[in-house]
């Protein structure tokens, strides 16, 4: 199973690269598959590539679901 993670673009670099963040974690990613990426936008990051743009509401809802799953796993799935 493959998992794409919503991340926010924090910086646009040279050569179609950018820096995206998820919480305190920062990744360098390839933005070449996103037309006209902008700082502050949310994208789905998969295997180092931003593969799709997300609106902020959808990104935050998805991240909230991931946090719920993580909390449930930490509680032993209860």
What is the predicted pLDDT for the residue at 77? 61
pLDDT digits (tens, 9 = 90+) for 63-77: 999 889 989 998 876
Question: Which CATH number do you get for residue 37?
Answer: 2.30.30.140
* Total tally of structural domains belonging to the chain: 1
Range of the domain at 25: 5-74
State pTM to two decimals: 0.84
> 23-49: per-residue pLDDT in tens?
899 999 999 999 999 999 999 999 999
Element (H, E) at 44: strand 42-46
Structure tokens at 67: 């946090």
User: For the chain, how far is it from start to end, CA to CA, in angstroms?
Assistant: 24
The DSSP secondary-structure symbol of 73 reads H
């Amino acid at each position: 199973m493959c998992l794409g993670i919503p991340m926010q673009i924090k910086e646009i670099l040279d050569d179609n690269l950018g820096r995206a963040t998820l919480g305190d974690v920062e990744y360098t990613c390839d933005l070449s598959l996103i037309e006209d990426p902008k700082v502050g936008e949310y994208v789905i990051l998969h295997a180092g590539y931003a593969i799709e743009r997300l609106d902020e509401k959808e990104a935050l809802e998805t991240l909230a679901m991931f946090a719920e799953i993580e909390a449930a796993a930490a509680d032993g799935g209860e």
